[in-house]
Structure 1
């Protein structure tokens, strides 16, 4: 009698709790950033943040998380598997900062300079953010139909190493700093996570939950977090019920923003599209194959829902699928995240949760996910492509370094209207042999340059120099249009400089590199042809000598 080995996915498994904590914490950090930046930097009122933006975010997260959970379930049924993990999904961090500082803040400052009241300036800035978010969603939706061709063209090492560069810097190192800034609170939860998932030790409760509970206890017990009546009262104020609305009229009234800030919206939309493609490749390397077109289209639809319903912040397929898969999360963690994040945003309880659960309590999970992503860059690619992976890590590290350098300058009092950042700083950095202008150049469009440089290195390793030349030409085109490397100075930052010919020096460099590759291809073919002739001639000469 044959025993059936057919497996079917389940909507919820025990380890989905661990996955929920990781994804929920990641989303929660983005929500807290949005609340703080919108109120502190943009001057948005609580009614604007809690009554419009957060309900829009709630719907976008519910739509995406439910869809990706359903997609994983259906994919598991088709493949007769019970170990498939849903794609993680949430707010795009890069776009969050870009739209706050490069779209909404300039609109607000310009309005105030023209004599508009602070309240009306906040309204105009919010409308501009809606349009920018809508533009990003349209780019992601249209780009869904070019996803499969791009995945076939781009080597896996190029895809995964780009994510590795982001994971090792913007995810892992940041939380590592925070862990060692508060070692009494941070090290024990980190130890629990490493023991659970690297040491394969099972505790009485899921390791992620245990780490969070220990983190909460240590944070409150050591005084890192303490009771404050005023802060508690402030956290209670926004609690209520907020019903999402459609804001089509506000989108239409601010439609000119699409042209005015096209140089920001286009690269952000392309950045989100390529990043989502890389995350699909990462999921496939971890064993879960998802169709590119519907996965990317759902991502774009989630962003469009956000814009139409009041949120200024695009959503994306998150980095970290292999980490959540290694946690043991399957389908339910995605759906649960949509439910809990939706409830938080629709009831205004974000602030009260953040008051009781400090970031330090759950950051070990996110740090571990960053480690897993970097490790996957090496383990899921051919071993002889390891140099390409290393090359692909470098632009992300450079971009992070540029960010840290600018943060240091701002902490030192620069980056204000009275003391703006200027090109003169470059010479000051060079006095310590730091070519910071190179870091600024790598920072812009680093997701593109990381993928391209890693791809070029793969084709060099494979001795396919013609394809390396084609990639160099693609890099030249992206650079010439300003999608890579080209930057301009603002009062407090260096930002992308989109336009015809803005990246000419880098474009010329890549063209010269392409010429080198095409010459090398010709030379390799010639040498290969000569090698075929030489053995025959040598054999004839050898035979002649024998006859003599």
Structure 2
């Protein structure tokens, strides 16, 4: 169908709106829970300083993606173009809270700062971190189209499919089932309306109905004494206007970023790779956005967020095909951006973060993760399916890293002991898991690209991919031997860390050499 002027809103935009808003609210909820609950960070600073700027970055990015979708619809004459969804990146946002902001707050207090001063310094560190990551993304965004041409679709979709299944599927599923009655009811209703497309007795968006039912169950059962352990009524937050004014506070925070650059730079790099992947995902779903434009939009929104007090970087979500299946077009990103951005200024977002239970928020993320996982297989060639499956494995290791690195699971002293020594022969088992998980998205892309080249009998090209993996391993871009995933110079490593890094690099180099020699066989394709 050809429309000169695409419609601003369609019915499916409401479902997309609720899904995208919930994605962002759930991540903000995780950030608040980590900083306030684990590290004792002042809640007022989180809700009135960090959240407004963070939410404003989401607003700016979604406005840009809305404009891009309307431009593509007008240019192509189609009315089924779905905008790229933009929000807060889950892995790096949680990583910022647990590995950067929380520990920095504790360290500032240990240096003698009072709580208010330590909180301000941590906030400045968060802003400066976004400026560093945003600048890196801005510079690298211009290489996006070239990388898309070089890396096969199985590698792009497989790496993001593994992340979707593990981080957007499994982890939120655990939060869903911590309140089983609420979780099963909400998740089942979402599957009914979004997958089975079953009819409803009321004319409201299915996603909204699922949230209403889940929230009512959660508080109804809790007040009746039948809810999951730990039920409580959250404290009410007063509405207050807290505009995300531009500030140069990040300048004071830049010196604080130096000890964390080994974390921040990979965080930014992962978002560039992820942006390339989601652009390919949207292209596979029928919407051909230019990769450079997708990356530039996320870089600009991250920089705006940091300049206005935000502490979590924005990214295009991997769920664009899922939103397309919901019937969403371009209105949902406009609505979601306005709601999150304006709601962040008025305190509405902070209030919802307090009141919406994770058992209700998490199921929509599980659905998006499953949808993207399915697309990774459906949108690649049949003979490349094994490469897609191979790309999932590093994400499993990263999932274990997230859990095993939690001090509530393994005491830090015991973790360090197992990491350095372990039991039995070979490298320490825990260290092997951590090293496999660090840089998992890039690792998955390299593995899948190498296997696709092997399947197509391009053995020299496969050898080149394995050799690249060997070089990146030496610098910790993939398989970092630092438990936190930082990069380093090869000569700076010592002891078991040095042994692990060099053995992983040597393993890739030996494999590359073998393939290179095999490609020399007469009559065999090898280019």
Q: Could you state the TM-score of these two structures normalised by the residue count of structure 1?
A: 0.87
Residue 497 of structure 2 corresponds to: none
Counterpart of 2:65 in structure 1 is: 68
2:488 is matched with 499
Matching residue of 1:236: 237
Match of 1:340 in 2: 339
2:496 corresponding residue in structure 1 = none
Contact 2:421/2:428, CA 8 A, preserved across alignment: no
Aligned counterparts of 1:434 and 1:325: Cα–Cα separation in 2: 45
The equivalent of 1:97 in structure 2 is 94
Distance 1:225 1:79, change over 3 A: farther
> In the alignment, which residue of structure 1 is the partner of 2:401?
402
1:397-431 Cα distance to aligned partner (Å, 9 max, x none): 12112322333xx325612xxx4521336765669
Aligned to 1:542: none
Cα deviation digits, residues 305-338 of structure 1 (max 9, x gap):
1111111211111121111111111111111111
Partner of 1:330, secondary structure, is coil
After TM superposition, the structure 1 = structure 2 runs for residues 347-496 of structure 1, keeping only pairs within 5 Å, are 347-407=346-406, 410-412=407-409, 414-415=411-412, 419=413, 421-424=415-418, 435-488=429-482, 494-496=483-485
Q: SS in structure 2 opposite 1:205? A: coil
**Residue 210 (structure 1) aligns with:** 209
**8 Å CA contact 1:43, 1:118 repeated in 2:** no
Secondary structure in structure 1 of the residue aligned to 2:198: coil
1:36–1:152 distance in 2 versus 1, CA, 3 Å:
same
Distance 1:124 1:162, change over 3 A: same
CA–CA distance in structure 1, aligned partners of residues 460 and 524 of structure 2: 15
Say yes or no: does 1:161 pair with 2:132. no
Listed one character per residue, the Cα deviations across residues 32-53 of structure 1 (whole Å, up to 9, x for unaligned) are: 2222333334544344223321
Q: Which residue of 1 aligns with 2:116?
A: 119
Query: Unaligned regions of 5+ residues in structure 2, if any?
Result: 494-500
Partner SS, residue 422 of structure 1: helix
In 2, are the aligned partners of 1:323 and 1:373 still within 8 Å (CA)? Answer: yes
The residue number in structure 1 matching 2:290 is 291
Rounded to whole Å, the distance in 1 between the matches of 2:122 and 2:440 is 28
1:307 aligns with 2:318: no
Alignment-derived partner of residue 173 in structure 1: 170
Structure 1 window deviating more from structure 2 (76-85 vs 108-117): it is: 108-117
Q: Is the 8 A contact 2:47 2:350 kept in 1?
A: no
Answer with 120-129 or 349-358: which moved more.
349-358
Structure 2 equivalent of residue 257 of structure 1: 256
Cα deviations by residue, 1:195-218 (Å, 9 ceiling, x for unpaired): 333323332432212222221232
CA distance in 1, matches of 2:354, 2:40: 22
Decide whether the 8 Å contact of 1:215 with 1:362 is kept in 2.
no
In 2: Cα distance, 1:478 partner to 1:40 partner: 37
Find the aligned partners of 2:429 and 2:357 in 1 and give their Cα distance: 38
Paired residues for 1:137-152 under 5 Å: 137-152=134-149
TM-align CA RMSD = 2.5
TM-score (norm 2): 0.90
Is the CA contact (8 Å cut-off) linking 2:35 and 2:98 kept in structure 1? Answer: no
> Residue 113 of structure 2 aligns to a residue in which SS?
coil
Query: How many Å separate the matches in 2 of 1:437 and 1:252?
Result: 37
Residue in 2 aligned with 1:135? 132
> 1:323 — aligned with what?
322
C-alpha distance in structure 1 between counterparts of 2:322 and 2:478, whole Å: 29
Q: Determine if contact 2:161/2:392 at 8 Å carries over to the other structure.
A: yes
- After superposition, the Cα gap between the structure-2 partners of 1:411 and 1:111, relative to the gap in structure 1 and judged at 3 Å, is closer
322-331 or 175-184, larger mean C-alpha shift: 175-184
Structure 1: gaps of 5 or more residues: 489-493, 530-548
Check conservation: 1:426, 1:435, Cα contact below 8 A.
Answer: no
Tell me, what secondary structure is at the counterpart of 1:423?
helix
Deviates more, 1:343-352 or 1:59-68: 343-352
Q: How far apart, in 1, do the equivalents of 2:450 and 2:223 lie?
A: 48
Matched, 1:189 2:186: yes
Larger CA deviation: 143-152 vs 178-187? 178-187
| d(CA) in 2 for partners of 1:55, 1:285 | 34
Measure how far apart 1:222 and its partner are.
2.5
The whole-number CA distance in structure 2 between the counterparts of 1:121 and 1:41 is 16
Contact 2:129 2:254 in 1 (8 A): no
Q: Name 2:31's counterpart in structure 1.
A: 34
- Counterpart secondary structure, 1:90: strand
Residue equivalent to 1:527: 523
Q: Secondary structure at the match of 2:294?
A: helix
After superposition, what is the alpha-carbon deviation per residue over 1:2-57, rounded to whole angstroms, capped at 9, x for unaligned? xx855753211111111111111110011122223333345443442233212211
Query: Is contact 1:429-1:436 (8 Å) kept?
Result: no
* Cα separation, 1, equivalents of 2:386 and 2:431: 25
1:233–1:223 Cα change, 3 Å: closer
Measured at CA, do residues 361 and 528 of structure 1 come closer, stay the same or move farther in structure 2, by a change above 3 Å? closer
2:236 aligned with 1:247: no
Choose 59-68 or 338-347, whichever is displaced more: 338-347
Aligned residues: 509
Aligned to 1:270: 269
